[in-house]
Amino acid sequence: MSEYSLPAKERKQDVVQNMFTSAAKAYDLNNSVLSLGQHHRWKRLTIDLLKIEKGQVILDLCGGTADLSLLAAEKAGGDGLVMTVDLNMAMLRVGLSKARSRVIDGLKERMSRARPVMIQANAESIPLPSGTVDRLTVGFGLRNVTNLDVALAEIYRVLKPGGRFACLEFSHPVNALWDGLYRFYSFFILPKIGKWISRDNTGIYEYLPASIAKFPDQESFSETIRKAGFSNVVYRNLSGGIVAIHMGEK
């Protein structure tokens, strides 16, 4: 349906990083407009399903503008540690600005939530020791890695035994009619709106729907997660399968 071609594997990282650097400042606004505000609900549910406990170490991988990090920080409390890891510095700067703007005067409020730590790093080479993370979340990020199997292996490595992983990702609608409407919106409406809002000319809003279409469906991705070593692998469809939350345990 789309004429957009995904970048070759050897060029993907550079191309994708250039896109996100260009779109960073308008990224949050576009997310809200293009999802009709639904991304906030999807992200809250993802964090709720992780069952984060006070004082835990949380890693928000491909964390970008830190939406999931900030939600996780409320759950982890002042004794917890939340790390936002992303390769793109422009996105991390937006996330850092949001984190700073939410610091509330008053000792009680400051101590009630963790403050996310921003780390620039590749999801395929996470700069953390093995077995040090209690909960790990990825929001709309694994489509952008160069090697999905390597990224999942790194996620498994850094989690503690019994640690939980949740991946919020665009997926494949379960109803054929809904799927057709969604594809029409994704390939023909979304790029126009996204480009108009962001004034971006890198092609990111053509890349995003094309990358979604190429990403494994719910069952296939679940099997890939199992092969990475995870147990209790399940997924939950949201909005008719437009989005799915995939979960696994180490």
Superfamily holding 9-249: Vaccinia Virus protein VP39 (3.40.50.150)
CB 23 within 8 A of CB 198: yes
- Who's near 81: CB < 8 A, 6+ residues apart? 56, 57, 58, 114, 117
Domain ranges of the chain: 9-249
Through-space distance between the first and last CA atoms of the chain, rounded to whole angstroms: 38
Instruction: Return per-residue pLDDT of the chain as tens, 250 residues.
Output: 445 678 888 899 999 999 999 999 999 998 998 898 999 999 999 999 999 999 999 999 999 999 999 999 999 988 899 999 999 999 999 999 988 887 654 444 555 677 789 999 999 999 999 999 999 999 999 999 999 999 999 999 999 999 999 999 999 999 888 888 888 888 888 888 888 888 888 888 889 888 988 999 999 999 999 999 999 999 999 999 999 999 999 9
CB count within 10 Å of CB 129 equals: 9
HSE on the CB side for 43, CA within 13 Å?
21
